[in-house]
Structure 1
Amino acid sequence: MEAMFTVNNLWILVATCFVFIMHLGFAALEAGFVQRKNVVNILFKNSMIISIGLLTYYAIGYNLMYPSGDGMIANFIGDLGVFDWAGGATADYAAAAEEGSTYTGYSDFIFQGMFAATCATIVSGAVAERIKLVPFLIFAAIFVAISYPITGMWHWGGGWLADRGFYDFAGSTLVHAAGGFAALAAVILLGPRRGKYKENGQITAIPGHSMPLAAIGVFLLWFGWYGFNGGSVLSADANGVSLVFVTTSLAAAAGGIAAFFTAYFMFKSYDLSMVLNGILGGLVGITAGADSVTGGSAILIGLIAGIIIPLSIVMFDKYLKIDDPVGATSVHGVCGIWGTLAVGIFGTNPEFSFLTQLIGTLSIGAFSFLASFAIMGTLKAIMGIRVDEMEEIKGLDIGEHDMHAYTLSKEDGVFQLTAEN
């Protein structure tokens, strides 16, 4: 028994490392999708989010998400207080093995802490290139400490959605849609980047500065998703982990293919950014049911997610005039909802209900949107959340950090990349 416990616990820790790599993936993807004058700012935010996220989740979030009590309050809010390293039935090796758990409380905390920070990272890309650094960091701290754990507790912590039979295996809604709708609220309050939408209705494309960096980010995220979904089996069960690896891979591949064809039909071009986001859309879509659908169903889930990506990005950008530089609201918000609903359609468990899945994903999305709107709205009223016009023109790297991401020279009044290195 102890040997198997050690194997299970080790897999959770390895999966935690995979999820940690996803933060590098988000940093690279977001950096690639923004202008070069804002790269340092993106990297700084991503470095701070993982640091802030782990500390605030330790101080408040973990107990909110996994309450020790029961009753009305615990069922909707959870417990306040710092994670108790010495207490808890699974806090140490001996106690965990004795009661049949597959991992220690330490492993549970660090694995879940990586998920919590991931949710805030989703917001980072959507608000890129015009948000003040300090208000964003305050927002991230509050969101990870309070908003994310409350909605997570509704299902994973044994709350009211768990009682209704709602199912989200690894977080299509609890992590991704929650982050996507938090991003939507923040973007609405923040407004579009300068020059994005002209008075005559014309939309100005603001391309990212490095598609290679964005592509590297997506492949790192795909790699990390094997820990994100594979670790959510919560053991090293051979069949369970293998199935999740297969469904995750098939959905990601299908998402990329579907986005490729859909984008070509819409734009008559081979759009790499759409393919990259299509892959991510497939990954987000399969996350809710990776352990409970067949390979064929995983392909269908990924295909539909990949079709959603170009349609949703155009809807937000062209028709709703919502400026999201990385497409986070579409990839994580819209595809997160789709993936959660897909469990009620394709799930092999007959107890899964489409209506319950709909109630769950809309409830979590709405709470996350409103919480984000309240937090960011308060910060906007108190200290302002948007940089001034001149700082936005110069770039946040100079305005907020007084440095460049790359070696630059000044020729004819225009900063350009040098040929050095």
Structure 2
Amino acid sequence: MDQPSIQIAYALDTFYLLVSGAFVMWMAAGFAMLEAGLVRAKNTTEILTKNAVLFAIACVMYMLCGYNIMYPGEAVNSIWPGISFLIGGDHSVETVLAGGDDAPVYSGMADFFFQVVFVATAMSVVSGAVAERMKLWVFLAFAVVLTGFIYPIEGFWKWGGGFLDQMGFLDFAGSGIVHLTGASAALAGVLLLGARKGKYGKNGEINAIPGSNLPLATLGMFILWMGWFGFNGGSELKVSNIDEANAVAKVFVNTNMAAAGGLIAALVTAKLLFGKADLTMAINGALAGLVAITAEPLTPSPLLATAIGVVGGILVVFSVIGLDKLRIDDPVGAISVHGTVGIWGVLAVPLSNAEAIFTVQLIGVASIFAWVFITSFVVWFVLKKVVGLRVTEEEEYEGVDMAECGMEAYPEFKISK
């Protein structure tokens, strides 16, 4: 490759990675809208605050230590004298040109930006599962630990060249590394936190607690669907030659088809089970399809990708029902969407990728779940003993917006007592 071609390829791939990262960053808005729509109006401000602040915490913690833990070989720049806080170094023109075909394909700073938005996605999964009864500052304290330490360690096992990568574990964009991680942390928190007041009756009944704004939840779903093209497509990492451009196009198509299959399957499953077209199940079905295809969006045919999404959409409906029967209260279905279906996504890789080994995929799932669940449980347990996880019963009844944030999302619609 001649020098002008190398420079053009480097610039193009850097730009592609940055734009993909911006798409994934936009998923933060999707999570915020989805969760705001699926919680009650009296808890909207607090859920929005959590989603905004967790993104900022993820960025800072990943800069300070997370990226260095996940990619130790990339620590080339220092932001404090004598301390190698990692942000992948940008490559000089001379380095790129001298490298020829082995030259870096994109800027190190672009790689950091693309990786940091994935960390925030994992933490966003936790937000909805613990909604409506957890103290805000406890949640934010946990976000510091997950984004700075828990996630980067298990991320290193695969994407940083750790033992899972050496075993041959495959997870293209993070059905396990990102989504199962968020769900495992959420499950640990929910088990210690307990259910919302009134969710489960003494005689085993399960009481529905409807969300406040289904148009907002639907908008959140579409934002996430759009952002997922950056999530999966960007994970191809480059687009500067014909083969890579074709691969990115296929990833986009498969990602879209899996979401469509998941939505339709969840809607039909809900109709068969409940006799109604349940919009919330359809929303989670689309997200389930997206999670399912994330582990391997390149090698399946579009038809197989649709089928993988269909299975994810069916699984999420039964998982939501099953967790409710176990009295595990997840207001938005995050544990089912990202956990149950995240496992399915990882285990579905051998269906299309001949290099995948089913037993290794199982080991990967077990390793990620065990590490994240145990460490998260310990952190949640310590927080519970030191400061407590829940708001008071009165604050929960009144809504955590006023108790935690001192303001309401819809003050003009407040009902006088």
For this structure pair, what is the TM-score category when the shorter chain's length is used for normalisation?
A: over 0.9
Check the 8 A contact 1:263/1:310 in 2, yes or no.
yes
Match of 2:148 among 145, 150, 156: 145
Cross-structure match for 1:286: 293
Q: TM-score, normalised by structure 1?
A: 0.92
Check the 8 A contact 2:87/2:112 in 1, yes or no.
no
| Post-superposition offset of 1:296 | 1.8
**Separation in 2, partners of 1:100, 1:244:** 25
| Post-superposition offset of 1:84 | 4.5
Cross-structure match for 2:396: 392
Counterparts of 1:2-41 in structure 2, within 5 Å, are 2-41=7-46
| Post-superposition offset of 1:340 | 0.4
Deviations 1:315-334 (A, max 9, x none): 0012x100000000000001
Counterparts of 1:87-102 in structure 2, within 5 Å, are 88=89, 90-92=90-92, 94-96=94-96, 98=99, 99-102=102-105
The 3-state SS of whatever aligns with 2:72 is coil
Cross-structure match for 1:364: 368
| Post-superposition offset of 1:352 | 1.0
Check the 8 A contact 2:87/2:109 in 1, yes or no.
no
| Post-superposition offset of 1:284 | 0.1
Match of 1:176 among 179, 192, 196: 179
Match of 2:323 among 316, 322, 332: 316
The 3-state SS of whatever aligns with 1:139 is helix
| Post-superposition offset of 1:92 | 5.0
Give ranges in structure 2 of 5+ residues lacking alignment: 1-5, 75-82
Check the 8 A contact 1:92/1:105 in 2, yes or no.
no
| Post-superposition offset of 1:148 | 0.3
Counterparts of 1:76-115 in structure 2, within 5 Å, are 81-84=84-87, 88=89, 90-92=90-92, 94-96=94-96, 98=99, 99-115=102-118
Deviations 1:34-84 (A, max 9, x none): 000000000000000110000000001001101229xxxxxxxxxx95115
Higher mean displacement: 234-243 or 272-281: 234-243
**Separation in 2, partners of 1:6, 1:411:** 56
Q: 1:164 to 1:200 in 2, by over 3 A?
A: same
Give ranges in structure 1 of 5+ residues lacking alignment: 70-79, 414-421
Letter matched to residue 254 of structure 1: G
Counterparts of 1:205-220 in structure 2, within 5 Å, are 205-220=208-223
Q: 1:399 to 1:297 in 2, by over 3 A?
A: same
Aligned: 1:228 with 2:236? no
**Separation in 1, partners of 2:329, 2:96:** 48
| Post-superposition offset of 1:407 | 3.0
Check the 8 A contact 2:67/2:87 in 1, yes or no.
no
**Separation in 2, partners of 1:281, 1:410:** 34
Aligned: 1:123 with 2:155? no
Aligned: 1:249 with 2:256? yes
Check the 8 A contact 2:63/2:87 in 1, yes or no.
no
Number of residue equivalences: 397
Cross-structure match for 1:379: 383
4+ runs deviating over 6 angstroms = none
Aligned: 1:270 with 2:277? yes
Q: 1:411 to 1:290 in 2, by over 3 A?
A: closer
**Separation in 2, partners of 1:33, 1:270:** 17
**Separation in 2, partners of 1:276, 1:123:** 18
| Post-superposition offset of 1:408 | 2.1
| Post-superposition offset of 1:4 | 1.2
The 3-state SS of whatever aligns with 2:348 is helix
Cross-structure match for 2:343: 337
**Separation in 1, partners of 2:70, 2:301:** 30
Cross-structure match for 1:160: 163
| Post-superposition offset of 1:26 | 0.1
Higher mean displacement: 259-268 or 274-283: 259-268
Taking only the aligned residue pairs, the percentage that are identical comes to 48
**Separation in 1, partners of 2:279, 2:87:** 47
The 3-state SS of whatever aligns with 2:238 is coil
Letter matched to residue 189 of structure 2: A
Check the 8 A contact 1:191/1:322 in 2, yes or no.
yes
Match of 1:49 among 50, 54, 65: 54
Aligned: 1:65 with 2:73? no
Aligned: 1:403 with 2:407? yes
Check the 8 A contact 1:40/1:401 in 2, yes or no.
yes
Check the 8 A contact 1:92/1:104 in 2, yes or no.
no
The 3-state SS of whatever aligns with 1:408 is helix
| Post-superposition offset of 1:277 | 0.1
**Separation in 2, partners of 1:287, 1:158:** 19
**Separation in 2, partners of 1:20, 1:93:** 29
RMSD: 1.4
Q: 1:163 to 1:402 in 2, by over 3 A?
A: same
Higher mean displacement: 96-105 or 147-156: 96-105
Deviations 1:401-421 (A, max 9, x none): 1111013255551xxxxxxxx
Q: TM-score, normalised by structure 2?
A: 0.93
Letter matched to residue 340 of structure 1: V
**Separation in 1, partners of 2:176, 2:93:** 32
**Separation in 2, partners of 1:96, 1:231:** 21
**Separation in 2, partners of 1:174, 1:410:** 42
Q: 1:93 to 1:133 in 2, by over 3 A?
A: farther
The 3-state SS of whatever aligns with 2:199 is coil
**Separation in 2, partners of 1:355, 1:127:** 32
Check the 8 A contact 1:126/1:187 in 2, yes or no.
yes
**Separation in 2, partners of 1:130, 1:412:** 23
Cross-structure match for 2:78: none
